[in-house]
Amino acid sequence: MMGWLGGFYVQVKALHVIVTFFWIAGLFMLPRYLVYQAGETPGSPEDLKWTERTARLRRIILNPALIAVWILGLMVATSYGLAGSGWIHAKIFLVLLLSGYHGWAVGMSKKMAAGQRPMAEKSLRYLNEVPAFFTILLVGLAILKPF
């Protein structure tokens, strides 16, 4: 039985994994950038450099990768159907949560670019670990397919 992607299934799946690496890398970088920016005086030359770095990271890596992850992931997930695959439903739910984290980090970077410092540096350091936790869960689900 062939899914609707036919012979392109493996290539689309490989591309999905590749852009997922880019997305997760960006999700590791952005909060780390925010930690560094939090210690800078708003409006200072170094603060402005961090603002530009975070904007470039969002524009060049994070947002395009997020879009590609979702499009390619849904293509792979629906190619053979979703019925009877509880692990894929759990994976999609976790990616939804991670997408929310992405939105939070982007929003935080925009607030910091505007000169606000809504979170302490220490809190940002803890939140920097969120992508690692999700990566462990998502890879575990994708490889082990436990249910």
Structural domain boundaries of the chain?
16-79+86-144
Rounded distance, CA 37 to CA 52, Å?
A: 11
The chain-wide mean pLDDT, for the chain, equals 95
| Beta-carbon contacts of residue 87 (< 8 Å; ≥ 6 apart) | 141, 142, 144, 145, 146, 147
Q: Looking at this protein, which amino acid is placed at residue 90?
A: A
Cα Rg of the chain, angstroms: 18
Mean of pLDDT values over 48-69: 98
Task: Give the span between the Cα atoms of 125 and 128, in whole angstroms.
Answer: 5
Distance (Å, rounded) from C-alpha 14 to C-alpha 37? 35
Over residues 10-46, the pLDDT tens digits come to: 999 999 999 999 999 999 999 999 999 999 999 999 9
Per-residue pLDDT averaged across 72-94, rounded?
Answer: 90
Residue 29 is predicted with a pLDDT of 97
Q: Does the structure show a pLDDT above 90 at 84?
A: no
Instruction: Point out the least confidently predicted range of 21-35, 75-89, 113-127.
Output: 75-89
First-to-last CA distance in the chain? 21
